[in-house]
């Protein structure tokens, strides 16, 4: 690949641009000057050795300690944002509430059961002025290319409605579904 617009070109003593020589070494095609010039010959020998060493460095395994993930996640959990709660009902023993994040997990899980749908962002909030547990669900989803969007959204509403009532105990009075991405088949969303 030709290098154009190099604003800090590094020139060999013969005037050849080192970046251009590198590209020629990479594709194995030195030009006439480079084949005859002792500076270019010496530099290209160094580049060949550098390419070999670079490949070895890139392939070398360099794994973090096994417990690093857990250490990171422990630190993350201590910074976890304060949960909001949705009031579900009152009984003789006191109020029953569900964490909004837990409610969102139920919603996302339900939406994920629809073929070709992956849930992304989701919030569940108590609707002001409505009875306890009557909530607004805002859900963003990605669809697999070729999926019937309208049918998918109908199915999401059906599954989310059932899961909200049966698994989390809130009434999804309003389910707002937004398609934010389309992904090609054959890989995850």
* Nearest-angstrom CA–CA distance, 54 and 19: 16
- Cβ 119 to another protein, closest distance in Å? 8
Count helices and strands in the chain by DSSP H and E runs: 6, 5
β-bridge mates for residue 181, sequence order: 142
Mark 138-167 with x for binding to another protein (rule: CB under 8 A) and - for no binding.
--x-x-------------------------
Q: Does 15 bind another protein (CB under 8 A)?
A: no
**What span, in angstroms and rounded, lies between the C-alpha atoms of 138 and 121?**
8
- Over its C-alpha atoms, the chain yields an Rg (Å, rounded) of 30
Residue 178 lies near another protein (rule: CB under 8 A): no
Nearest to 160 by CA among 130, 117, 189: 117
Nearer to another protein, 7 or 32 (CB): 7
Report the relative pairing of strands 94-99 and 117-126 from DSSP bridges: unpaired
Does residue 17 interact with another protein by CB under 8 A?
yes
Would you say 88 or 119 has its CB closer to another protein? 119
Residues that bind another protein (CB under 8 A): 3, 5-10, 12, 17-19, 22, 42-43, 45-47, 49-50, 52-54, 56-58, 60-65, 68-73, 75-77, 79-81, 83, 101, 104-105, 108-109, 112, 118-123, 140, 142, 180-181, 183, 186-189
């Amino acid at each position: 690949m030709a290098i154009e617009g190099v604003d800090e070109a590094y020139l060999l003593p013969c005037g050849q641009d080192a970046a251009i020589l590198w590209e020629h070494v990479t594709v194995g095609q030195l030009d006439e000057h480079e084949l005859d010039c002792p500076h270019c010959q010496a530099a290209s020998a160094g580049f060949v050795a550098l390419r070999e060493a670079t490949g070895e460095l890139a392939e070398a395994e360099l794994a973090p300690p096994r417990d690093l993930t857990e250490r990171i996640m422990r630190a993350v959990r201590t910074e976890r944002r304060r949960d909001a709660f949705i009031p579900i009902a009152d009984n003789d023993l006191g109020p029953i509430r569900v964490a909004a994040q837990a409610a969102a997990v139920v919603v996302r899980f339900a939406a994920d059961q629809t073929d070709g749908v992956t849930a992304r962002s989701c919030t569940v909030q108590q609707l002001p002025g409505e009875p306890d547990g009557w909530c607004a669900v805002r859900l963003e989803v990605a669809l697999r290319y070729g999926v019937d969007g309208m049918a998918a959204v109908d199915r999401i509403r059906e599954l989310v409605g059932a899961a909200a009532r049966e698994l989390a105990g809130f009434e999804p009075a309003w389910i707002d579904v937004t398609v934010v991405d389309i992904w090609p088949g054959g890989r995850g969303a």
